[in-house]
Structure 1
Amino acid sequence: MSYMNASLAEFREAKMGIPFEEAILANTKFQGADISSGMICRGWNLIWNTVMPDGTIVKGPQWGNGRDSS
């Protein structure tokens, strides 16, 4: 799922065990998904108005912090 454009996508309640990198996650919803915020905010992913699994919103724009999952 690397290099995807998931703008306006909804991953609600999805089980996502594979990390992705260099993805566009603008206005993307992960609320209730089985993935950590650390896995979303990594790998140079673009995070912008993104709903995290716990329901918080990362306003952004921000780039994921390289290739680690912290």
Structure 2
Amino acid sequence: MESLRDELLAVFDAEYRDHLRAIRAVMASGCASRRDVAEIFRRVHSLKGAARAVELPGVESVAHTLENRLSGL
């Protein structure tokens, strides 16, 4: 039987892939509007929280840094 953390990591794997796919799609479209930046920010924020939940501090740190940079836009 999988541990709870293994189950959470499996969910995180699917979630982060979805967030990255969406971020890449916005970036490929030119990221021309405030709405596009807001969508990326929301996705990065969600990714940061998910990384914290599964205890992946490296991912959490990168997401936090990106979130800070995006907030300036």
TM bucket (normalised to shorter chain) is under 0.3
TM-score normalized by the length of structure 2: 0.26
Normalized per residue, the structure richer in strand is 1
TM-score normalized by the length of structure 1: 0.26
- Structure with greater Cα Rg: 2
